[in-house]
Amino acid sequence: GAGVSQSPSNKVTEKGKDVELRCDPISGHTALYWYRQSLGQGLEFLIYFQGNSAPDKSGLPSDRFSAERTGGSVSTLTIQRTQQEDSAVYLCASSLYPGAGEAFFGQGTRLTVV
């Protein structure tokens, strides 16, 4: 597709379960970001991938959160033992180069932990 694609668009899970969120960036984009956005709040940085460099994990809120990016393309964000405070919209974005030009956002995954 032409844009950044995220799946699923909505996810309801029980507290304590693990979830995987997927991001398909725009083909050829080397930079990929994950953000979390709680209702009415700003963009909370989670993790940043750039090419083959080690990811910047400085925004991950706890060791229950992890992410990987395979082959420099698709990325998955995994949340283990989900808690109610993990409920939010998780946004992925990609750009051609780090900080260069437009960062394109996906439509987000709305995660609800019940």
**Interface residues with other proteins (CB under 8 A)?**
31, 33, 35, 40-43, 45, 48, 50, 56, 58, 91, 93, 95, 97-103, 105-108
| Distance of closest approach, residue 54 Cβ to other proteins, in angstroms | 13
| Distance of closest approach, residue 69 Cβ to other proteins, in angstroms | 14
| Nearest to other proteins of 55, 74 (CB atom) | 55
Nearest 5°: the CA angle 53, 35, 104 is: 80
| Distance of closest approach, residue 78 Cβ to other proteins, in angstroms | 21
| Distance of closest approach, residue 35 Cβ to other proteins, in angstroms | 8
The dihedral region occupied by 24, where left means phi > 0, alpha psi between -120 and 50, and beta the remainder, is: beta
Q: How far is Cα 91 from Cα 41, in angstroms, rounded to an integer? A: 13
| Nearest to other proteins of 35, 65 (CB atom) | 35
| Nearest to other proteins of 41, 80 (CB atom) | 41
Output the CA–CA distances (angstroms, integers) from residue 50 to 31, 35, 56, in the order listed. 5, 15, 9
Q: Is 48 helix (H, G, I), strand (E, B) or coil?
A: strand
